[in-house]
Amino acid sequence: RLGLHPRLARALLDGAAELGARRAAEVVALLSEEPPREYGDDLAAALRAARRGQDGYAGRWKQEVRRLSAQVDG
């Protein structure tokens, strides 16, 4: 059990096989919770903003990335 919507869980597992667990976890974590408006509508830009962010969303996002990566790797 990954604790995700089934489509996101499938994206995580398939993405991990293609891109690696960390990168797949980053994208799925971004899709699992709507980012702040100031992150923009572009997924790549939102991912960059989350990676460098120091706000509450970025903190939650980083925690979710760690959780998802560990579940795929573990």
Residue with tokens 């891109």: 19
Structural domain spans, the chain: 6-73
The secondary structure of residue 71, as a DSSP letter, is H
Q: Read off the pLDDT of each residue in 45-50 and give the average, rounded to a whole number.
A: 94
pTM for this model (two decimals): 0.91
Of the chain, the end-to-end C-alpha distance in Å amounts to 12
pLDDT band for position 43 (cuts 50, 70, 90): very high
Secondary structure in 3-state letters for 6-60: HHHHHHHHHHHHHHCHHHHHHHHHHHHCCCCHHHCCCHHHHHHHHHHCCCHHHHH
Q: Residue 55's pLDDT is what?
A: 94
- Render pLDDT for 17-42 as a digit per residue (tens, 0 to 9): 999 999 999 999 999 999 999 998 99
